[in-house]
Amino acid sequence: MDNRDEVKAFLSSRRARLTPEKAGLAGYNRNRRVPGLRRSEVADLAGVSVEYYAQLERGNLAGASDSVLDALARALHLDEAEQQHLTDLARAAGPAARSRRKPSAQHIRPNITRVLELMTDVPALVGNGRGDVLAANPLAQALYSPMFDDSTRPPNHARFAFLDPRARDFWRDWDRIATVTVAMLRTEAGRDPYDRALTDLVGELSTRSEDFRTRWAAHDVRLHNTGVKQFHHPIVGDLDLNFETMQLTADAGLTMTLLSAPAGSSADDALHLLATWAATAHR
Regarding whether 68 and 134 lie in a shared domain, the answer is: no
Q: Which three-class secondary structure state does DSSP give residue 252?
A: coil
Predicted pLDDT of residue 31: 65
Query: What pLDDT digit, counting tens, does each position of 165-181 carry?
Result: 999 999 999 999 999 99
CA 157, chain centre distance (Å): 11
pLDDT tens per residue across all 283 residues of the chain = 568 999 999 999 999 999 888 888 876 666 677 778 999 999 999 999 999 999 999 999 988 999 999 999 999 999 999 999 999 999 988 765 555 455 555 789 999 999 999 998 999 999 999 999 999 999 999 999 999 998 888 999 999 999 999 999 999 999 999 999 999 999 999 988 888 999 999 999 999 999 999 999 999 999 889 999 999 999 999 999 999 999 999 998 899 999 999 999 999 999 999 999 887 776 6
Residue 76's CATH number: 1.10.260
Regarding whether 266 and 133 lie in a shared domain, the answer is: yes
Alpha-carbon gap, residue 42 to 130, rounded angstroms: 33
Residue 240's CATH number: 3.30.450.180
- Among residues 70, 100, 130, which one ends one of the domains? 100
Domain that holds residue 156: 110-282
Regarding whether 270 and 138 lie in a shared domain, the answer is: yes
Predicted pLDDT of residue 35: 75
* H-type alpha helices, the chain: 4-17, 20-23, 39-46, 50-57, 66-75, 80-93, 97-100, 110-118, 138-143, 145-149, 157-163, 167-170, 174-191, 196-208, 210-216, 266-282
Predicted pLDDT of residue 27: 62
- Among residues 66, 100, 134, which one ends one of the domains? 100
Query: How many domains does the chain fold into?
Result: 2
Give me the helix-helix angle, 80-93 and 174-191, nearest 10°.
Answer: 30
Regarding whether 131 and 50 lie in a shared domain, the answer is: no
Regarding whether 175 and 86 lie in a shared domain, the answer is: no
- Among residues 51, 69, 100, which one ends one of the domains? 100
Regarding whether 156 and 76 lie in a shared domain, the answer is: no
The answer to whether residues 229 and 245 touch, using CB atoms and an 8 Å cutoff, is no
Query: What pLDDT digit, counting tens, does each position of 226-277 carry?
Result: 999 999 999 999 999 999 999 999 998 899 999 999 999 999 999 999 999 8
What length is written for the chain?
Answer: 283
> In 10 A of CB 14, how many CB atoms?
24
Instruction: Indicate whether 105 belongs to any domain.
Output: no
Regarding whether 182 and 78 lie in a shared domain, the answer is: no
What b/e string do you get for 246-280 counting C-beta neighbours within 10 Å, with b at 16 or more? eeeeebebbbbbbbbbeeeeebbebbeebbeebee
The answer to whether residues 224 and 180 touch, using CB atoms and an 8 Å cutoff, is yes
Instruction: Indicate whether 66 belongs to any domain.
Output: yes
Predicted pLDDT of residue 215: 97
Regarding whether 229 and 140 lie in a shared domain, the answer is: yes
Instruction: Indicate whether 239 belongs to any domain.
Output: yes
Q: Which residues contact 58 (CB under 8 A, 6 or more apart)?
A: 4, 8
Q: Which three-class secondary structure state does DSSP give residue 178?
A: helix
The answer to whether residues 4 and 60 touch, using CB atoms and an 8 Å cutoff, is yes
